[in-house]
Amino acid sequence: MATDYDAPRNTNDESSDDSIEELKGRRDDKAGSTIDVDTEAVEGIELPGADLSGEELTVRVVPIQQDEFTCMTCFLVHHRTQLAGEDKNGQPICVDCAS
């Protein structure tokens, strides 16, 4: 087996010019397609990994304080001093929405 492997190898070296050029042309095509695939794969991995985890850590969910309320019209959290009253359903409404 080892002898058979060496024999064709030496034969190729003698006429290496033509075969190498053919291989280069084929390799260039394969290399181009391979680079595109790798770039897409890397971008796909980075987006869900680093960015989302960073935002989750940065953006804190602050619970509503006892002196605050959520206006059911604009859905914004206001201080009680901005509470204008309640609507027909008993939902708090801020001064901006009541006026």
Task: Verify binding: residue 71, Zn ion, rule CB under 5 A.
Answer: yes
Q: How many beta carbons lie within 10 A of that of residue 83, not counting itself?
A: 17
Size of the site for Zn ion (CB under 5 A): 5
Among the residue ranges 26-34, 36-44, 53-61, 89-97, the one whose residues contact Zn ion (CB under 5 A): 89-97
Task: Verify binding: residue 83, Zn ion, rule CB under 5 A.
Answer: no
Among the residue ranges 6-14, 21-29, 72-80, 83-91, the one whose residues contact Zn ion (CB under 5 A): 72-80
CB neighbour class for 78 (10 Å; exposed up to 12, middle 13-18, buried from 19): buried
| CA 6/CA 33 separation, integer angstroms | 32
